[in-house]
Amino acid sequence: MKRKSLFLGAALIIMLSIFLTACGGSNKESENKNGNKGTENADNGKKDYGIKFLSIATGGTGGTYYPLGGNFASMIQDATGIESNAVTSNASAENMALIKKKEVEVAFTQTDIATYASEGTMMFNGEKVDNVRGLGTLYPETIQIVTTSKSGIKSVEDLKGKSVSVGEAGSGTRANAEQILEMYGMTVDDVKARNLSFDDSTTGIQDGTIDAAFITAGTPTGAVEGLAATEDVVIVPLDADKIDALIDKYPYYAKETIPTGTYASVKNDIDTVAVQAMLVVQSDLTDDLVYDMTKAIFENTDKIGHAKGKLIKTENALNGMGIEIHPGAKKYFDEKGVSAK
């Protein structure tokens, strides 16, 4: 009887060991075809990236960043299994502050704003954001010097002494205006500077209270289209040598062309520059996570439900970057043979 009990006990131990082996070891080290190592969860087959939730700071609900952010959140969640969502904000500058405070993991911004933040200059003077890295640039935010044929302004030099909106105080547009004027040996003191919003700028041009305006936005820009409906709009071109000098000194700019017909009265291609809308991430996100996020976005641009999706291309994703790229994103673009142009 005693021997029978021992056999029964041993059998129970063996069965328990088999059960634990089958149910245990829920995490295992894995390596996918791209060489990304991580901890794979046996329950869902997804790697453990060290975070369970991911937020993307965008802009207002009526802008471009917010709907794009929703698309990107879905792509990232599908690829990584991390619950991801797009959150509204006041866009570029505020988003950099949210990254600094680690309130979001990913954010939309502009290449110039990202550079100011990482350097602690311009509107970030004394408030350097040192935990931000680039993921990729998306599409151009074009610098447009807008006027009308009746103003007689045909070149940047012609702005001297004229009433010109240089963007709202502390804005990226204001910095764009200062830097472009600098290339022509001018400052904002050489014009009668006004700090106006885009809508107020085009209204001012229409009613004659200002002569021209710097506007940094994706084209066609609604405020400029509205002006073009009643006025013979002129977009002032930048000279090729000035463009090269600008990009050489401020590498977050990229060459851009406003095509014929963008606005009703624009009969020729206009050479100018653009800063880029871009995605940035916290620097301490793992390389694996940022690699997989980058791959998810740039290999699914056909699924983006916004017109700007057509402009988001892997081959352009380093143009005008301006700040240090995250190693995970760099790995992806290196594999694709992508470099800044």
Digit-by-digit pLDDT tens for the chain (341 residues) are 444 444 444 444 444 444 434 444 434 343 433 333 444 443 445 688 999 999 999 988 867 899 999 999 999 999 999 999 999 988 899 999 999 999 999 999 999 999 999 999 998 998 999 999 999 999 999 999 999 999 999 999 999 999 999 988 877 889 999 999 999 999 999 999 999 988 899 999 999 999 999 999 888 888 899 999 999 999 999 999 999 999 999 988 989 999 999 999 999 999 999 999 999 999 999 999 999 999 999 999 999 988 889 999 999 999 888 899 999 999 999 999 998 76
What's the pLDDT score for residue 45?
Answer: 57
Write out the two tokens for 204: 């001012």
Between CA 282 and CA 326 the distance in angstroms is: 9
DSSP 8-state code for residue 264: T
Write out the two tokens for 120: 């602690």
**In the chain, at which residue ranges do the beta strands (DSSP E only) sit?**
27-31, 37-41, 47-48, 53-57, 83-87, 106-110, 132-148, 163-165, 192-194, 212-217, 233-235, 254-258, 270-282
Q: Which domains does the chain have, with CATH numbers?
A: 47-139+276-335 (3.40.190.10), 141-275 (3.40.190.10)
β 106-110/53-57 pair status:
parallel
Between CA 180 and CA 42 the distance in angstroms is: 56
What's the pLDDT score for residue 218?
Answer: 84
Between CA 159 and CA 188 the distance in angstroms is: 10
Task: Indicate the pTM of the whole model.
Answer: 0.77
Distances (CA, A) of 319 to 33, 136, 188, 333: 28, 9, 28, 12
**Terminal Cα-to-Cα distance of the chain (whole angstroms):** 84
Neighbours of 3 (CB within 10 A): 7
What's the pLDDT score for residue 24?
Answer: 41
Between CA 30 and CA 40 the distance in angstroms is: 6
What's the pLDDT score for residue 34?
Answer: 35
Neighbours of 69 (CB within 10 A): 26
Write out the two tokens for 4: 């029978």
What's the pLDDT score for residue 46?
Answer: 63
Write out the two tokens for 228: 């073009």
